[in-house]
Structure 1
Amino acid sequence: MIKAGQRVLSTLRKMIISGELTAGERVAEIPTAERLGVSRTPVRIAFRALEQEGLLIKLERRGYRVREVTSEEVSGAVEVRGVLEGLAARQAAEKGLTAELRQGLLKCLTWGDALFDKGYVTEDDLEAYHDLNKRFHSLIIEASGNPAISTALSRSEHTPFASVSSLAIDRHNLAREYRRFNFAHMQHHAAFDAIDHGQGARAEGIMREHANATLRYAELFCSEPADTGTLRVISGELNPAE
């Protein structure tokens, strides 16, 4: 997804989970684009992605409706993802990493180290983390050698926040986001270490805990509505106002 589309997606995801966009509310491309100060294209891309994530429901006529999401639905889906990714990590540890997969995982860790070692993160850093996070998880699933895990995960991705790519980011509190995502990156290091040393049970436990950190997203944003007024367009991309 292009950068503007990714930023709009993250903003809308945060607006939904914070309650700024309420359950049952109708949303459409033009007013949403005007509200965020972007063109219709990234909004259209974001709407489709949010429909796939189960946060929006496409209406027969134009537009979408915000889906009501219960905490039980989210927690159940995330727990299932944790079980599946934990299983993948355990099987990867028991099977052993190929040289190619090991190098791929190490590249993700090195990439993440470069993002967090400076002691703070920017919006671009968080977008980069989104990509490396997806890559890291997909490599572990690949390393398991079990295609049934990938199939099972794909079936649950229509449930809100059950997908590893469903990151909600608060761009108005980057200091807290640094702590949150740096901790997640340290979990990546721990998971790799366990897998690389053939410690199946440890790898499984780390990945299950890593997935359950997703449950904190709603709590993090429930008391801090998104201030979309600080967003504007610069050179066709969504950026924070200076």
Structure 2
Amino acid sequence: MENRHFQMDTQWNIIHYPEKPTGFGILIIGDERHFIDEGKCFWTQNEGKLAIINELKDAGYTIFSSNLYGRNWGSENAVELAQRLYQHVIRSEILNNKIHVLAEGMGTLVALKLLEKLQGCIRSVILLNPILSLKHHLEQEKEHKFFYKKLMRELSSAYQMSQSSLENEIFNMDDIVNLDFDCPITIIQVLAGGRSYTQSKLYQRIIQSPKINPTFILPEKKPQLGKIIIKFFNGHETVL
């Protein structure tokens, strides 16, 4: 069996099985384009993402992921479902209970909250092109009125709050992002588009932990992502 689709709280989830499992699991928390339904999944339909999935499976990893209510923007519902998915997979599969997490873009907002809830259960974390702060993401989008309005509608729906209340709450958030957790965390930023330079400056400004040194890679090096991810995860598997 290559993969298994199943539902939890109306949301589709998927488990990708390796041929020769090592007993280590990876939770993938996708970005705003991410989706999983009854028969399809963004990470298997996108050529670059599928290559990463295949490399991770070849390395023996069991990979699992959830639709998490679509564009959830780090909502509590999404975090709780991710926690339930972890518990379900650990109960139903033969896996070490300390998992790796690979979060992309918007998925970082869920991952950081999940780290607090699953302390001691997460082995290491990779944040790929992360959105670390809703506040700074909104500030960036303010220049693009159409996208800003669309984003505020999505946030309002995800958090079930009025746009004005939510906007006020987000802009009153702390400027600093604390990544001081009890597991290794790294950031990988693909330098594509004008925002990448802005992001690198933003990391320097808002990340509190001196232990985090983001890795920047050029777009033509994207095919090497799988190897970079595996090397990082492998480095944190000596202690079971």
For Structure 1 versus Structure 2, the TM-score category normalised by the shorter chain is: under 0.3
The structure with more strand, counted as a fraction of residues: 2
Which gives a bigger RCO, structure 1 or 2 (Cα 8 Å, sep 6+)?
1
The structure with more helix, counted as a fraction of residues: 1
Greater Rg by CA:
1
